[in-house]
Amino acid sequence: MIIAIILFAMIIGIHEFGHFITAKKFGVKVNEFALGMGPKLFSWQGKETLYSLRLIPIGGYCAMEGEDEDSEDARALNNKKWWQRGIILAAGAFMNIVLGLVFMFVIQVQEPYYASTRIAYLVSDSTSMNAGIELGDEIYSVNGYRTHCATDMSFALSTAKDGVLDIVVKRGGEKLTFNDLHMPVEDYEGTKITRIDFKVARVDKNIGTVIASTFTETYAYVRMIYTSIIMMVTGRVGFNEVSGPVGMATAIGQVAEAGFRYSFMDGLNNIINFMALITVNLGIFNLLPLPALDGGRLLFVIIEGIRRKPIAPEKEGIVHLVGFVLLILLMIIVTVKDVWSLF
């Protein structure tokens, strides 16, 4: 829990710092920069900004003049150009993705080598071999999911039903499709896991492959998050798969425990890898065009830029208020579910 709180604070702090630093850059007055929510533990007054630490270590905010209401102050957010407001709103999510890249780099730089998507070994008389897949084939997609790296392949396998795969490979510049390949399925702690009957070639480690793997794996997380959201909207993933801060803290404990069984560094790396997923998740989720989120506010700003005039503040305020109430209601429901599941 202590590790989870520290890392959550880092993720939230870097998000709000993105808003803070760009607001200062464009001359916007920041009234308060807070980490945490609820009652104030302590604070100190800067030249114009109040910096505070609050009791509940979930959330935080960068309160800017003219953010939620019109202000006559020339330095208020509502008096800045639409594109400046857009940059300030998007900066928080951007910083979360940057932090995800940093976390991912820490993981990738420790790896002795990396997995490619090129087949280097086929099990004799296996499903893949009998279907016509050959050594040297590049795995292009699995069940329609484009595979750029090992994480893409793992995610595609995790969503496979009953071990049946449709695999597309690239061979000599040509794409070949192999449908209805029945792969072995194993039971792991009550969960069905699809395994593949081939191995992929490794990529040697150097400065170029470290950087490439950092960006590729982070991009894989971004695609995984977007795909998961689509799966939830379309009903392929149930509500039980959704977790809030309590569920994420529990998951952090589980991945940490799994790593600490072997060594301290394994546990720490498991946590860092998981936090990379969470911070990228937060950045992507905040950019969704939903009311009360940064993406929802950004949508109104973009519409203003296209229309050359702002939408009536009272109308925008109602939209964000309704969105905020629904978001808080969702957080309460998810948190209750997470707490209930602990017992």
Q: Which parts of 242-312 fold into alpha helices (H)?
A: 245-260, 264-286, 294-307
Query: How does residue 240 score in pLDDT terms, banded at 50, 70 and 90?
Result: low
Q: How far apart are the C-alpha atoms of 307 and 278, rounded to whole Å?
A: 35
The residue-averaged pLDDT of 255-274 equals: 83
At 320, which helix (H) or strand (E)? helix 313-342
Q: How far apart are the C-alpha atoms of 47 and 62, rounded to whole Å?
A: 16
> How many CB atoms are closer than 10 A to CB 192?
13
What the block records as the tokens of 300 is 């109104």
Residue 246 reports pLDDT greater than 70: no
* Helix, coil or strand: residue 147: coil
**Which one from 16, 65, 217, 316 is the annotated catalytic residue?**
16
pTM for the whole structure: 0.82
Each residue's pLDDT tens digit, 116-160:
999 999 988 899 999 999 999 999 999 999 999 988 998 888 888
Please indicate whether residue 304 is annotated as part of the active site: no
The residue-averaged pLDDT of 164-178 equals: 93
Residue-range domains of the chain with CATH: 1-111+211-343 (no CATH), 113-204 (2.30.42.10)
What the block records as the tokens of 340 is 């209930």
